[in-house]
Amino acid sequence: MELRDPPTLPHILLVEDDTISQAYFRAVLESLPARVDATATQACALARARATRYDLWLIDLSLPDGTGTELLAQLLDRWPQPPPALAHTAEAGPGPRAEALRAGFGDLLVKPVSSAGLAAAVRTALAAGVALPDWDNAAAAIALNHDPANVKALRRLFLDELPGAHAAVVDSARKGDAATLRARLHRLQASCGLVGAPRLADAVESLRRTPESQAALERFDHAARDLIR
Give 129 or 220, the one with higher predicted confidence: 220
Tell me, rounded to whole angstroms, the distance of Cα 14 from its chain centroid.
17
**Average of per-residue pLDDT across 178-191:** 92
Is the pLDDT reported for residue 3 higher than 50? no
Is the separation of the CB atoms in 34 and 10 below 8 Å? Answer: yes
Q: At what angle do helices 198-209 and 214-228 cross, to 10 degrees?
A: 160
Question: Could you tell me the pLDDT band of residue 7, with boundaries at 50, 70 and 90?
Answer: low
Instruction: Yes or no: say if 64 and 43 are a contact pair by the CB < 8 Å rule.
Output: no
| Domain-wise residue ranges, the chain | 11-128, 137-228
Cβ partners under 8 Å of residue 107, min gap 6: 86, 87, 100, 101, 121, 124, 125, 210, 213
Instruction: Say if residue 1's pLDDT is above 60.
Output: no
Residue 130 pLDDT > 80, yes or no?
no
Instruction: Give the confidence band of 143 by pLDDT, cuts at 50, 70, 90.
Output: confident
Average pLDDT, the chain: 89
Model pLDDT, residue 141: 80
Question: Per-residue pLDDT for 70 more than 80?
Answer: yes
CB 33 within 8 A of CB 9: yes
Asked if CATH classification 3.40.50.2300 holds for the domain at 11-128, the reply, yes or no, is yes
pLDDT at 27 over 90: yes
- Rounded-to-integer distance, Cα 183 and Cα 201, Å: 15
Please state the rounded mean pLDDT for residues 56-71: 96
pLDDT of residue 129: 67
Mean pLDDT confidence for 188-213: 87
Tens digit of pLDDT for each residue in 152-178? 899 999 999 999 999 999 999 999 999
The pLDDT assigned to 214 comes to: 80
Q: What is the pLDDT of residue 185?
A: 94
Given a cut of 50, is residue 193 above it in pLDDT?
yes
pTM score, whole prediction:
0.63
